[in-house]
Amino acid sequence: MDYKKVFKSQELRLKVLRMLDFVPDKLMIKIQYRLATGKSLNLHNPTRFTEKIQWYKLYYRDPLLVKCSDKYAIRDYISQKGLEDILVPLYGAYDKAEDIDFRQLPDKFVLKTNNGSHTNILCDNKEKLNKEETIKTLNQWLTKRSSKLGREWSYYDIEPKIVCEKYLDKDENNDLVDYKFFCFNGEPFYLYVITERFLPGGAKLGLYDMDFKKLPYRRPDIALINKEVEKPKNFDRMIEIARVLSKDFPHVRVDLYNIDGKIYFGELTFYNGSGYKIYVSEEFDFIVGQKFTLPSKFK
């Protein structure tokens, strides 16, 4: 059963999940896994990638995951790794939206919360921005988010904050290609390439190996890239960055952008799709699962 078809409104889905905060994590994860994938969750001997992400959420509790899930605190981690040059320039960080001085911001910027997903405001023309509505939306994101929505432990103790960064310009095709490297113990194995996110037809996604060859697998919830995507000339440098940023973790997804040869850091994600994304064919879930060596419980 696809629960998103039952609760079509995202706001309604979030309300239902918040009402179920009292349900223990392990039980709730089993329920959500069944609803999202149609399969029973095996936590005693997980073999699928999606199963191992659930185990990861429940049992691997290295405090470093908390710092690196925080979209503001992670900037310090990136700098410590000697990669400050890939950080998107920062304009400010705020505890509440009323603290933002829009007069001091450039014409284009991005506002986002440090502990959320899809909580971004992209402003490409400050004069057209509804500032009152922006402040209202940001404060709602700060106060309404429940850290337990996806039962993703690393977000539980992040102090909510608003971050303002440079607006990354799109290319000549009005596109901003997203490169998401799936890494295991410091070694990238495959990546998502996401294109056309800002075009009328919506985002397209392809799975590629480390030679930038398209893999014969896809996600049925998003359209497949149907055109040739040019391999970045400095792709090897992107791989090296992914290695550096992933070596402290059993698994992490390293998100990067590459604009005219300039590499920018996006985020680190430990629970891709909260571990509920389905792959076609199904064998890919097992192939990636073999790469994910689960550590000892960290509780």
Per-residue pLDDT tens over the stretch 35-48? 999 999 999 999 99
Cα–Cα distance between 33 and 276 in angstroms, integer?
6
Alpha helices in 165-213 (DSSP H): none
Residue 229, pLDDT score: 93
Cα 170 to the center of its chain, rounded Å: 20
**DSSP single-letter state for residue 104:** G
Under 8 Å between Cβ of 71 and 112? yes
Question: What pTM did the predictor assign?
Answer: 0.93
Under 8 Å between Cβ of 263 and 257? yes
Give whole-number Cα distances, 50 to 1, 36, 46, 54, in Å: 17, 11, 9, 7
Structural tokens at position 156: 């539980």
Share above pLDDT 90 across residues of the chain, in percent, rounded to a whole number: 79
Residue 171, pLDDT score: 82
**Section 257-275 average pLDDT:** 96
Under 8 Å between Cβ of 292 and 52? yes
Residue 189, pLDDT score: 98
Cα within 13 Å of Cα(11), Cβ side: 2
Per-residue pLDDT tens over the stretch 212-265? 999 999 999 999 999 899 999 999 999 999 999 999 999 999 999 999 999 999
Per-residue pLDDT tens over the stretch 134-188? 999 999 888 755 557 779 999 988 999 999 999 999 887 778 999 999 999 999 9
Q: Where are the domains of the chain?
A: 17-87+170-299
